[in-house]
Structure 1
Amino acid sequence: MKTLDKKIALLVFALSDEEEVKRKPFLAQDTLAKSLNKHTKDIAVQSDLPVFHFDETKQIGDDFGTRFSNAIRSVFDEGYDGLIAIGNDCPYLQVNHIHQAKAILENGEAVLGPTYDGGFYLMGLSKKDFDYRAFLTLSWNTNKIFEEFFESLKTRRIECHSLEKLWDINYLSALENLVLHRIRNARLRSSIQSAVKRRSTNYFVSKVTELKLLHFTLFNKGSPVFYFFQS
């Protein structure tokens, strides 16, 4: 099998600590935003792939789909044949997920890592399978993006593999779904544990189940808007 070791890049599509806190105020608790970004940075370094980090200073476009598509196109314009895209909102993400995706890409196939909220925490795609215009038409701001993306590839007869389904953190109540012992990063685990304990301090809604009814989630990396009612 012909490998693409030096032609696959890792795209980290994630906002800075400061910008994440503006979008998702609960991430300010116990330096959770910093812990998530540090965790993602560590995973990127461990991947041994060339890394391209697109935060809000490098993202171009008026909506998520445009910004994400432009970032992908920029990486491919650097001469890479494939890329793996991740964000900073999946505490379960490990380097083995990157390596699994890389192996699938080397086999000429696409790969997605689904999340329980209908999005995905990882996307692996080759340059030949990237359709810029088609990307712009996808429903990035809905809980159907994984299914829609998967079906769009299937329609074009592109084989797509799915990694294990994981939880990500797009809203406060999602913290309740996490199993702490599965999070290997001690700093991140501690931040999440503290944030869960203090969740009722900063928001007037007393029950986590009520928070689920109030959130509007824009899926995946660099989500542009996040609505929460603060006291």
Structure 2
Amino acid sequence: MPVEQERAIILMFANSSSEEIKHKPIQKGKALFEYCTMKTLREIEKSNLPYVIYTEKEQRGDSFEERLVNAIQEIFSQGYQKIITIGNDSPELKATDLIDANRTISEKNIVIGPSMDGGIYLLGIHKTHFQKEIILQLPWKTPNLMPAMIDFFRKKQITLHIKKRLRDIDTISDVKCFSGFFKTFSYSFLQLLSYLLQEELKQFRCMTPLNYIAIIQTGRYNKGSPQLINSFN
């Protein structure tokens, strides 16, 4: 089948905002995750590509990687040849990134969008590349995912097209980083980020020394580093 006739679809693999706040340590972050989901959907719709959303309601499996590969396998079984998988937590993602990925994916090409933390925010894969058992063995949700994927696909002699590196939103440190992007995001989004930073600061000021130490030990602030807290002063 000619590349231009192959069926492509975008898979937004992301939890609902209610579920997201259970796993990401951002105080009162539900509104932020809802905003990110809507922003991502707007970019998807601009691409004019069909899409499907898999939240925790549609996902099947005991681990992140199991849920992800099960979703990909299910979509490929519906007759699609190309899947562009993304999350909902990369505010810099644009429709042009999705369009470009669709044009690039083929039996010889794969597209990967690396995130700042060593993971990925986009995976554009052709049906011929999909090997469930092998992909399950990749170090998902670790800083080693990106290099492991590069090694895996290069060994398969598949050409990798690596997109620009973007930051995703996992912690209050990421929120603080995005709050400085004055020319990139809307005023309402920047207001939301400012509110979350203020709420985080309030929580810190109310902590006892013992609570503070417990949070640092559990990696509550940017993998255990107190530098983020100090920067508020």
TM range (shorter): 0.7 to 0.9
The 5 A counterparts of 1:86-105 are 86-105=86-105
User: Normalised by the size of structure 1, how large is the TM-score?
Assistant: 0.84
Are the counterparts in 2 of residues 4 and 106 from structure 1 also a CA contact under 8 Å?
no
Based on CA coordinates, which of the two structures has the bigger radius of gyration?
2
Deviation at 1:14, TM superposition (A): 0.2
CA distance in 1, matches of 2:4, 2:203: 48
The 5 A counterparts of 1:135-214 are 135-178=135-178, 179-181=180-182, 183-203=184-204, 204=207, 205=212, 211-214=221-224
Are the counterparts in 2 of residues 14 and 88 from structure 1 also a CA contact under 8 Å?
yes
- What one-letter code is carried by the residue in structure 2 that aligns with 1:214? G
Structure 1 outlier segments of 4+, above 6 Å: 206-210
- What one-letter code is carried by the residue in structure 2 that aligns with 1:196? L
**Alignment match, 1:34:** 34
Higher relative contact order structure (alpha carbons within 8 Å, sequence separation ≥ 6):
1
Are the counterparts in 1 of residues 111 and 162 from structure 2 also a CA contact under 8 Å?
yes
**Alignment match, 2:230:** none
CA distance in 1, matches of 2:47, 2:40: 11
> CA 1:139/1:182 → structure 2, altered by over 3 Å: closer, same or farther?
farther
CA distance in 1, matches of 2:101, 2:187: 25
Instruction: Tell me the matched-pair count.
Output: 215
> CA 1:144/1:182 → structure 2, altered by over 3 Å: closer, same or farther?
farther
CA distance in 2, matches of 1:81, 1:114: 23
Deviation at 1:162, TM superposition (A): 0.4
User: Normalised by the size of structure 2, how large is the TM-score?
Assistant: 0.83
**Alignment match, 1:229:** none
Structure 2 residues without counterparts, runs of 5 or longer: 226-233
Are the counterparts in 2 of residues 36 and 91 from structure 1 also a CA contact under 8 Å?
yes
3-state SS of 2:200 partner = coil
Deviation at 1:104, TM superposition (A): 1.0
The 5 A counterparts of 1:15-164 are 15-26=15-26, 28-29=28-29, 31-106=31-106, 108-164=108-164
CA distance in 2, matches of 1:47, 1:187: 24
Are the counterparts in 1 of residues 7 and 79 from structure 2 also a CA contact under 8 Å?
yes
RMSD: 2.6
